[in-house]
Amino acid sequence: MVAKVELIIQGVEDPDEVPGIEAISDHARFRCASDLATLERALPGAEVMLGWNFRAADLETAWPHADGLRWIHWCGAGVDALLFPALVGSQVTVTNARTLFDQPMAEYTLGLILAMAKGLPRTLDAQRERRWDYRLEERIEGARVLVVGAGSIGRAIARLLRAAGMRAQVMGRSARSGDPEFDRILGVHDLDRHLGEADYVVLVTPLTDATRGLFSAGRFHAMKRSARFINLGRGALVDEDALLTALRQGTIAGAASDVFQSEPLPADHPLWDAPGFIASPHISGDVLDYRTLMAEQFMSNFQAWCEGRPLANVVDKALGFVTG
């Protein structure tokens, strides 16, 4: 009889919190770790970890207890909370939830662009005040969009925005031509030059040492005064003080963020009241059935693991994201 895999489910108190996980119970023995203390107790002898709470950063502290870990599946597209130096330098394989959030985040981006172009926040404010606020609004057809981040999420966003009639370009780590879908991928070294051409800038690049603080005051000044900025990547990609100043001074026409340096965003944070700003609570990829989809994706990979087949969505730990 083949021994069961010792599997840690991080971020839960009971395996039943992961939809359908009982389907692999013949091949795995579950250990739940809902906090640092239980994670430290669960790690010795464990071979696989399912990172269910992909915002938690307890593993670095608990790492000395990981004596047999070989694979971590992280249920998020971004793995910045996971890639501390000891893990990066280890032989542990990391996979993530690449592609799972692509379409929901693309739809969310389109929704934000429509909200800003059509003045929906202003409309809702007027409705609450029972005030008839007639005005002319913008069209999105033909508007230029720069999507900063050429991974599967960025590509899905650009694809949907193009279908809506917008002119979307994708920017990655380096410029390249001959892309089968977008022909030319722009390079981030030309970011400042292309910022001035865009009506909307959508930021979805992974958070790495190279992208931390990517959008500072200078980047907002490089944008058109009529342009809007959307951040669905990570809060630390953006200098939030610079964003606040840009909104208050009219350097850009508006912005939206689903991610912040401190989450939840503190109630007294000035961005809540910034002119032309839309704040949302890190929900752009979270649709009604996303937990089921995360579980199914992991269990498919777990079956591959048990059968000795290659895993899907293997993260390049030095770069911080899945390549290829």
What is the domain count for the chain?
2
Domain match, 34 and 163 both: no
Q: Which pLDDT score is estimated for 54?
A: 83
Domain match, 79 and 154 both: no
Q: How far is CA 167 from CA 62, 160, 162, 200, 220, in A?
A: 47, 11, 6, 10, 21
Whether the CB-CB separation of 156 and 108 falls below 8 Å is answered with no
Domain match, 201 and 127 both: yes
Catalytic residue selected from 70, 282, 291, 296: 282
Domain match, 74 and 16 both: yes
Domain match, 183 and 311 both: no
Q: How far is CA 294 from CA 69, 196, 204, 209, 313, in A?
A: 21, 38, 20, 27, 13
Q: Which pLDDT score is estimated for 142?
A: 98
The answer to whether 6 is a known catalytic residue is no
Domain match, 272 and 260 both: yes
Catalytic residue selected from 141, 181, 263, 309: 263
Q: What is the dihedral of CA 241, 243, 245, 246, to 10 degrees?
A: 160
The answer to whether 296 is a known catalytic residue is no
Catalytic residue selected from 155, 228, 234, 240: 234
Domain match, 148 and 248 both: yes
Domain match, 210 and 299 both: no
Residue range of the domain that includes 296: 5-99+288-322
20-50 pLDDT, tens per residue? 999 999 999 999 999 999 999 999 999 999 9
Could you give phi then psi for residue 310, rounded to 5 degrees? -60, 145
Q: Which pLDDT score is estimated for 193?
A: 95
The answer to whether the bond into 264 is cis (omega within 30° of 0) is yes
The answer to whether 282 is a known catalytic residue is yes
Domain match, 107 and 90 both: no
Domain match, 83 and 232 both: no
Kindly give the parts of the chain with pLDDT less than 70: 1-2
Q: Which pLDDT score is estimated for 55?
A: 79
Domain match, 136 and 264 both: yes
- Looking at this protein, which amino acid is placed at residue 311? L
Domain match, 177 and 221 both: yes
- Domain final residue, candidates 279, 298, 314: 279
Helix axes 102-117, 120-128, angle to 10 degrees: 60
* CATH number of the domain within which 125 lies: 3.40.50.720
Q: Which pLDDT score is estimated for 40?
A: 97
Q: Which pLDDT score is estimated for 56?
A: 81
